[in-house]
Each structure stands twice: as C-alpha cells, then as structure tokens.
Amino acid sequence: MDDVVVKPIKKARLIAAMLQALAAQPAGKAPAQRPGVPASAAAPVVDDAAMAALAKDLGPEIRDGLVTIFLSETRARLNRLAAAECDAASLLREIHSLAGAAGTAGAPALRAEARAAEERLRREGGTALPEGAALAEAFARFEEAVGARGIVAAKAA
C-alpha cells in the first residue's frame, strides 16, 4: 500500500488521500433501478451521522437553520418542477442541484430519488418529470423526520 495517512490524522490530508484514491478508481455504472421500486428504497430518510456532524461542527442552532433553509428552498424548487416551469437544461440543473443539496442536508432518500431522475434525464432528455411524485414523497418524509427529531419545528398539520 503506497498511500498511507499516518497518525495524528489531519482532516485535510485524509480528505485529499480519499479524493486521490477515488479518482484512481475506474468509473462504474450505477446499478439498474428495478421497475416499481423507488430509488430511495434502500436509503435512510435522514443521515443521522451527517446531522450529528453538522451540529458538532457548526452548533445545533446553525445546523437547524441550514436545514430550515434547505426545506424552504427545496419546497420552492419542487413547486417550480411541478409547475413545469423548466426547459430541458433548466430541469436537469434543478434536479442536479436538488441531489447535491439533499446530500449536503443529510437527506439520502431524497438525494437517491433526485439522482435517479437526473440519470434518466441525462439518458433520455426531455422536460417531463415523472419522478415528481417520488421526489415530493421523499421530501415530505425528510421534513417529517427532521421535525420528529426536533431539528426543525414539526410541520403544522
């Protein structure tokens, strides 16, 4: 093994080594999605480790504020997508942004749905988003879960 990160481990060195190792790996194809099975079926609704890391690194108040902003912006994004206000390039950009934001916000199931939609759009193109209902459902589950965890105020019924 040529690439070694020695103790004491520095976060920046570890990240650099991981990125270098990942870049050296051959790109693999994502597994095919089974028909009728949501892309988010195997992904947790909330990444509790990511939530804990955000709270540790930034403090719980800032983490909660970031999640609140994510919820607000994602709700607006999903409303735009549902209203079909996007051309093909804008739709792809919105879905790609949603996938990235969901990953950062600790919403792996929503990220999985967005990535599946993005992959289909890259393959097939178009301006239709048949995954809209699955995205909305994954978002609603995340919103409910972070409310139940006390990360943000629970959504009013």
What DSSP designation does 153 have?
P
Q: What is the pTM of this model?
A: 0.72
Mean pLDDT (whole number) for 150-154: 78
Which domains are present in the chain?
Answer: 40-148 (1.20.120.160)
Q: What is the SS3 assignment for 70-85? A: HHHHHHHHHHHHHCCC
pLDDT > 70? residue 22: no
State the pLDDT at residue 3: 60
